[in-house]
Each structure stands twice: as C-alpha cells, then as structure tokens.
Structure 1
Amino acid sequence: MSRRALTLLLAGFLVLALGVTGASRPVPYVVLSPGPTENTIGEVDKKPVISINGRQTYPTSGALSLVTVAYQGGPAAQIDLLTALRGWVDPTVAVVPQETIFAPDRTVKQVEQENTVEMSNSQDSATAAALNELKIAYTTVVTVVSTEPKMPANGKLMKDDEIVAVDGTPAKNVDVVGDTVKAHKPGESVRFTVKRAGKELDVTVPTTKGTEGQTLVGVSMQGRFKFPFDVDINVGDVGGPSAGLMFSLGIVDKLTPGEITGGKRIAGTGTINPAGEVGPIGGIAQKMVGAQDSGATVFLTPADNCAEAVKAVPDGLRLVRADTLHDAVLALDALRTGKGNIPACEAG
C-alpha cells in the first residue's frame, strides 16, 4: 500500500472515529413523542378511569380520550446527538432544548412531583367545572397547607386545618382570608375559626410586619372543593394539567342520560378551570398523532392551540375548537345529532 493510500485510510478512520464519538456524546435536548391515550369513560388496569359514588350514573359508549406526550432525555438521562438527529428528521416528534422541560433550578424528581400536583389540581378543577356545567352545587373550603417557621401562625394553625372564618367573616376563599388579615395593623391579633379533627375551635394569632410593610401571620393556604358525592379519577402514571377538559367531559357523560359521544371515538386536550374555561397546552402536534393512533376521528382543541394544530393535523382527524366546556358539550351534541354549530379550528 502506498503512503498516500495509507494516509487516506488513516484519515478516514479518524473521521469515522470522531463521528462515532461525537454522535454518542450527550446533548442538552429532549425528544417529545406521542404518548399513550386513556379513555376517560373507560378503564385503566381493569379500574374505571372515572368512578362516581353517591350519585346516579348512566351508560356511556365510544371514547373521550385524553392524550399525552412522552419525553426522552433530561438532566439525569441526556440523549446523544444521534438520537437528537433522528428526532429532527421524524415529523411525528419534536426535539426541544432541555430547559424547555426542565428549568435549570429544577431536578427531574421536582418536575415529576410538580406534574403530579398539577394533575391532582386539574382533576379537582375538572370536577368543579363539570358540576357547574350540570348546575350541581358544591362548596369551597380554605385549608392550611403549611406555616412558616418563626412566624406567628407556626404552632397555632396546623396543616389541614379548615379555616371556617376570620374575625367572624366566613372564609369563602383564600382572598377573603388574606384580605381580612391585611386589614389589621402589624402587632394586632386575628381570630381564626378552624375545624380540626372534626371539632371547631377559635385560634388567636398575632400578626407581624412583612418585608414590604404588609401585615402577615405566616400561613400558606389552599382552596379546596367539597363535592356532594365522590368523584375518583384514576389515570396511572400520567401527570400535568392538560387532561382537564377530557376529565370534565367524562364526568358530564357519566352523570347525564344518553351518550354524548354518539359512539364515536373522541380525543382532545386542554387545561380547565372551575368556570369551565379551556386553556392551551404544549405538544399539540404529538398529541394529535397519539389521538389518530388511538382511532379517534375528532380532536377537541383549545382555541389558543388552533393555529398550530391546523398546520400539523394528521389526515382523517377533524379539529373542533373548544373555548369552554359548555362549547365542547354543544359541539359534541351537534356532531351526534347533525344539528347545530361545530366550531372549527382556523389557521392564524
């Protein structure tokens, strides 16, 4: 072999070795792909996704499926360059910077815990929205989440205390409690009426001045709903708030005669608040692919995601815009009966 040929061979080998080494190096990106779907009026692991006890329920058919996005990568298990390159050429997945999913000051465990909390809150909001849609009354209670060390409330108010009133004013929500405390001058005392371990008692808590001059007692509170019957939602290992709309629709379907799907396979996504307003979500392109893979023919889409969804909708999947839970119910009625308006997504 000539020296020239040997040099070319060695150079080629070096380029190949460097390419292989580079392709296997971790990169700070995350691959998003279509995740599993769950039928909210179906079962997971032989258990109903939505169980309602203490209220009459009705048969359902078809599917009202929530959709998810799976991710690969993250601070604890970064993907390599080759995996990222494969994702960039695959139209069904997205490759995004790692900090898009995992903020620099958040660990993978913290993100997963936050997703779990968001899912729990989403289920409560979805139940409240469904009951509002059906005009079923429920109440809201304010509970103690925690108290700050070395602050007046520490040792006086306890975790899970239900705050009934403050200075005799009914605690209708967190804002009422906070405003009543702030109405005091620092150093004055506030009388909390709380329910603790089934008993109602008054707790007097002195106030202090905060760093910005505001009146504080040092308590974190959360508004919780008290529903007139039990609604239990079981989705397995799924986190985040984006299934709210589909939970609400599943609850409405189970609590009303007739089948709002008309036997169709409906999928959708969107956050929801107790007023029934549908909010935007991430990963819409991947969620539509997951919906199509599950056999859905209709996809309920938050209004703020419509412009993006129109550009990436798979063939055979009909996009229906959902501004509110009520709008989604009316759209499903129109799909089932062939009468009424069915709002469509439009390009921005």
Structure 2
Amino acid sequence: MPRRTATMLASTLALIGLLCAGLLLPVPYAEMSPGPTVNTLGEARGEPVLQVSGHKTYPTTGHLNMTTVRVTGADYKMNVVEAVYGWLAHDNVVVPHDTLYPDGKTEEQSTQENAEEFSQSQESAKVAALEELHIPVTSRIIVSSVVKDSPAEGTLHAGDVIKAVDGSPVKAPTDVAKLVTKHRPGQKVVFTVVPAKDAEAAEKTGKEPSASKDVTLTTKKADDGDRAIVGIQAGTDHTFPFTVDIKLADVGGPSAGLMFALGIVDKLTPGSLTGGKFVAGTGTIDDQGTVGPIGGIEMKLVGARNAGAQYFLTPAENCAAAASDIPDGLTLIKVKTIADAKASLDKIRSGDTAGLPSCSAS
C-alpha cells in the first residue's frame, strides 16, 4: 500500500475513532434552550390562563407573554460532540451540570422544587397585582412546614397562624427566625398561635381568627451551626376578596411572576395595558411588587422574539446579560417593580416609546 494512502487511511480511522469516542464519552454539562412562551391574557390547552370570579373583568388585547427555558434532564448524559455543538449554536447555552442540578439533586427533586416555586410565584403575583390596584389583601404569617423529629413536631402544625414569638408580634416570616435565634439552644421559646383548623373556619366566614393559645417549645442546636431552632418553616398565607386562578400546566419556577401580575392587572382594569402590542417578559415578583432576576435570560429573549414579541420586560439585574446579545427587532425595557412595568406599558400604549427605560451591556 502506498505510504500516502496508508497515511490517509490511518488519519481517517483516527478521526472515526475520535468521533466515536466523542459520542460515547459523557461530559458533566447540561443544555439550556428557548422554551415555549404563553400569553397570560390568552388560553393554554383550551382554557383561559387567568380566571377571575367574584369581581368585574374587562376585555384585553395584545400579548403579555411569560417565557420559559428548556433544560436537559438531571439524568441526561451529554457527550463531547453534543457539548461542542451546543457551545457553537447561537440559540443554545451549555452550562456545568451542577448549575442546574446542584448537590446531586435528582430530576424529581428539581421538579418538585420548581413546582413549589411556581405555586408561590402565583400567590405573590396575585398579591402584587391587587396591591397595585389598591384592592386590600389580608395576610397572615403561618407555619408553612414542620421538620420531622424537631421540637415543633406534634405541637405546631402546618397552617397554624403565628401571632407572636415571646410576646413580640410577627409581621413577616423572617421575624420568626430572628426571634427564635435570640435564644441559645436548650432554652424555651413561646409561640402565640391560632390553630390551623380555627384559622380555616374563620376564613370561611370572612373574619380574622381571634382565638389564640401559647405554645412553649425547647429550642435545639441547628445541624449546620450553633444557632437555636425549633424546626419549622414560616410562610405567608393570604385571603383574597375574590378568586383569581392561574391555569398553566407543565411550567415550573418563579420567573413568570411579573407577567402573571400584569395579566391580572389588565383583566381587572378597563382598557388594554399593551394597546394591542406584543409584549413579553420575565421576572420574579414578591408581595410588594418588587421584580427579581431570573436564569436563562438569553434563551427567553430568543423564545420571545421567535414568537413575535416587540418588547421585552427585563429585570434590572438581568439587563447587562440581556443587552449583550439582543435579537433583532426586540426592544428591552428595564423594570424594577410592577409599577415600573405599568408605566412602561403606558408609554407603549400611547406610542411614546422614546422614553422607555432601556438595558445596557455595561
């Protein structure tokens, strides 16, 4: 066999070997890509995304789309070839596997966590929307969960309303931990609570629960430090003056909060927030209407533009990353609160877009 032919054959075989190795050799990476985008003012799977009963609603036009990101599963084994292709592809992002699934988190655990965050984001979206419209919402600090084999197990229960700790009123979930950690492990702490069943009965009658009792617990040392704990997670429960349901399946995480809140505001007020324009966006939201950052902003911009969005409501903390690669035809709008977002929508509706707060890459 001529030397040149032998060399070419050896090179070809080596290349085939490398490709085969690349297809078989797993690498510790995962991939993110643009996911579906859903109009919060429209329908999903044949039913309205936002459903309001017990309060007057108004017709809406245009789009207020929430955006999503697709990710590979926790058990998916990416190979070298797929990783290289993902790095080169413009619309995909390859990230370390631990970025999406830290500490060996399984896909089931991640799905459960995302579902809980999604549920909480819906609750906060309702509160933020109604507060923005000056519609009163009653809030209570509750026992959200009780840790097994903790001092609180069997004494405090999920749904109990926490009125005070050691006689000090609590107004936020963080107040509970602050008051408990004033103690040393082994010391007693007194919770003033309304039992969950009494709170639920009062809520059905539209009244605030009044009957309370004192519960004394002995604190113990936290597993990860010397602070005192009793083994509960405090949260917030709300009573709304009417019913707002968000119907959207197969979506997780907290990042649709802003768009849900704006959709609710649009449904409850005359006229159209968007003036018929196609607006998409993302961002977490808390009960006070503050917009927080999210992950996968680049993928969400691509997904929004592919769906036809003209404007994208962007959390201020995501602005620099978003502005580094803006899809053609998409205008980024920086938002810090639901009030910011509403003000920008007013400008879009009126056609006065020159003054929209923009994102910069710096």
TM-score by length of 1: 0.90
**Would the alpha carbon gap of residues 261 and 15 (structure 1) be closer, same or farther in structure 2, given more than 3 Å must change?**
same
Aligned pairs (5 A) from 1:84-95: 84-95=83-94
Task: Give the superposition deviation at 1:290.
Answer: 0.7
Alignment correspondent of 1:98: 97
Q: Counterpart of 1:141 in 2: which secondary structure?
A: strand
Task: Give the superposition deviation at 1:189.
Answer: 5.8
Alignment correspondent of 2:239: 226
Q: Is 2:37 the counterpart of 1:23?
A: no
- Quick check: 2:158–2:196 contact (8 Å CA) kept in 1? no
Q: Deviations over 1:9-43 (max 9, x none)?
A: 65245313312322212222122111100101111
Task: Give the superposition deviation at 1:302.
Answer: 1.4
CA distance in 2 between partners of 1:244 and 1:319 (Å): 18
Q: Counterpart of 2:280 in 1: which secondary structure?
A: strand
- Quick check: 1:165–1:194 contact (8 Å CA) kept in 2? no
Q: Which moved more, 1:199-208 or 1:131-140?
A: 199-208
Aligned pairs (5 A) from 1:72-151: 72=72, 74-151=73-150
Alignment correspondent of 1:337: 350
Q: Counterpart of 2:104 in 1: which secondary structure?
A: coil
Alignment correspondent of 1:64: 64
Q: Is 2:324 the counterpart of 1:311?
A: yes
Task: Give the superposition deviation at 1:215.
Answer: 5.3
Which of 250, 253, 264 is matched with 1:251 structurally?
A: 264
Alignment correspondent of 2:206: none
Q: Deviations over 1:305-345 (max 9, x none)?
A: 22222221111111111121111101111111134832122
- Quick check: 2:98–2:104 contact (8 Å CA) kept in 1? no
Q: Deviations over 1:243-293 (max 9, x none)?
A: 111111101101111101101111111111222222222222211111111
CA distance in 1 between partners of 2:188 and 2:71 (Å): 52
- Quick check: 1:207–1:217 contact (8 Å CA) kept in 2? yes
**Would the alpha carbon gap of residues 81 and 188 (structure 1) be closer, same or farther in structure 2, given more than 3 Å must change?**
closer
CA distance in 1 between partners of 2:191 and 2:321 (Å): 52
**Would the alpha carbon gap of residues 308 and 173 (structure 1) be closer, same or farther in structure 2, given more than 3 Å must change?**
closer
**Would the alpha carbon gap of residues 77 and 201 (structure 1) be closer, same or farther in structure 2, given more than 3 Å must change?**
same
Task: Give the superposition deviation at 1:232.
Answer: 1.3
Q: Counterpart of 1:125 in 2: which secondary structure?
A: helix
**Would the alpha carbon gap of residues 77 and 150 (structure 1) be closer, same or farther in structure 2, given more than 3 Å must change?**
closer
How much identity, in percent, do the aligned residues show? Answer: 45
CA distance in 1 between partners of 2:18 and 2:183 (Å): 68
Alignment correspondent of 2:333: 320
Aligned pairs (5 A) from 1:203-218: 203-210=214-221, 216-218=229-231
Task: Give the superposition deviation at 1:184.
Answer: 6.8
Task: Give the superposition deviation at 1:181.
Answer: 4.8
Which letter does structure 2 place at the counterpart of 1:152? P
Task: Give the superposition deviation at 1:169.
Answer: 5.5
Task: Give the superposition deviation at 1:147.
Answer: 2.9
TM-score by length of 2: 0.86
- Quick check: 1:153–1:205 contact (8 Å CA) kept in 2? no
Tell me the number of residue pairs that the alignment of Structure 1 and Structure 2 aligns.
346
CA distance in 2 between partners of 1:93 and 1:18 (Å): 27
Alignment correspondent of 2:361: 347
CA distance in 1 between partners of 2:188 and 2:335 (Å): 49
- Quick check: 1:140–1:172 contact (8 Å CA) kept in 2? no
RMSD, aligned α-carbons: 2.5
- Quick check: 2:310–2:330 contact (8 Å CA) kept in 1? yes
Q: Is 2:294 the counterpart of 1:295?
A: no
**Would the alpha carbon gap of residues 18 and 215 (structure 1) be closer, same or farther in structure 2, given more than 3 Å must change?**
closer
Task: Give the superposition deviation at 1:191.
Answer: 4.9
CA distance in 2 between partners of 1:81 and 1:189 (Å): 56
Task: Give the superposition deviation at 1:163.
Answer: 2.9
Q: Counterpart of 2:111 in 1: which secondary structure?
A: helix
- Quick check: 2:176–2:234 contact (8 Å CA) kept in 1? no
Alignment correspondent of 2:54: 54
Q: Which runs of 5+ in 2 are unaligned?
A: 202-210
Q: Counterpart of 2:216 in 1: which secondary structure?
A: strand
Q: Which moved more, 1:213-222 or 1:239-248?
A: 213-222
Which letter does structure 2 place at the counterpart of 1:50? L
Task: Give the superposition deviation at 1:103.
Answer: 0.9
CA distance in 2 between partners of 1:189 and 1:101 (Å): 38
